[in-house]
A and B are shown apart, each in its own frame.
Chain A
């Protein structure tokens, strides 16, 4: 039962990290694309991208503490 619990916790963090990584990757790719289309808005796009990336990776920390 202990091993099972530990395994479940590890998978919990693993999947959270996987999801957050995909999310941050999507944000990054779209931010780069958006900057390419509209270089004038680079500063604003960077701010939005940083905030969204932070929110996406925040999930991993919740997973680490709750696993």
Chain B
């Protein structure tokens, strides 16, 4: 037993494990699962490449971004006092988001952070829903196609298009962008010293021995806080990727369940995915805005207090 254990330890040395953790986007982590998935016609965890440096999720991302930019520009090309049609839709969307975020962030903070959260929400919703269109994930290169029974859906190994957020690179990029902006906003609101104090300094007004005690405790709490802050981009990207990828896999499995009924069985799950796509975009926007509020809000309250005392 002991020898067996040691052998397995040496096979999966700690360096390999750390490497696997860091390269989550690659299939190496699911190497053993990939073999099973191949047999069960599941989806690969990493987006297949179409060209060198271009995978199918990236194509969807570009198409969606181009559609949003084109749609918004076309709708607002000749903006009117009383909006109609496309202009009406975009104004409703942006105004609704602004009111929603102003309620959470407060009127001050929303002014210079609104652009980010609104963009993130519109883009994630559009990408998630674009991934549900017929043809995404079902048109591509397949080795399972059987000319004798063309009406039976064949598993597609390299689809031309794949949901944009079903690629961990995309969600990581978004959450890391947020993390960079979060640091900038935190520094702008608190200053470097203020940010350090915000995380490590004790809150409360004890004195004497209790003061020393509280400083020690809050220093420890600060360390925990830093770890939780560092894990935020990881959990943000995993959450979005996990939900969208799981949805794609569910649809794929339902299509394979009864080959002759592949057109019928996934339909209820499409409605579930519509809901999930919306909720996950909302969750990403809400979490990022709440994280921003948590680090910036303290300062504004202090500011108000000082102003209150001065008056």
Contact = CB atoms under 8 A, between A and B. Distances in A.
A61 B287 contact: no
Interface in A19-43: 43
A47 B238 contact: no
A58 interface: yes
A65 B238 contact: yes
B104 interface: yes
B286 A62 contact: no
Given A54-B287, A58-B238, A65-B238, 19 more contacts: A1-B8, A6-B32, A43-B103, A50-B279, A50-B282, A50-B283, A51-B286, A54-B283, A54-B286, A57-B239, A58-B235, A61-B238, A61-B239, A61-B241, A61-B242, A62-B235, A64-B242, A65-B21, A65-B24
Most chain B CB neighbours (cut-off 10 Å) among A55, A64, A65: A65
Most chain B CB neighbours (cut-off 10 Å) among A51, A54, A58: A54
23 contacts: A1-B4, A1-B7, A1-B8, A6-B32, A47-B286, A50-B279, A50-B283, A51-B287, A51-B290, A54-B283, A54-B286, A54-B287, A57-B239, A58-B235, A58-B239, A60-B242, A61-B238, A61-B242, A62-B235, A64-B242, A65-B21, A65-B29, A65-B238
Nearest to A5: B8
Most chain B CB neighbours (cut-off 10 Å) among A43, A55, A58, A64: A58
Interface of B: 4-5, 7-8, 21, 24, 29, 32, 103-104, 235, 238-239, 241-242, 279, 282-283, 286-287, 290
A43 B104 CA distance: 11
A38 B32 CA distance: 51
A65 to B, nearest CB: 6
A5 B11 CA distance: 13
Nearest to B103: A43
Contacts of B4: 1
Contacts of A43: 103
A47 B104 contact: yes
B283 A51 contact: yes
Contacts of B287: 51, 54-55
Contacts of B7: 1
B104 to A, nearest CB: 7
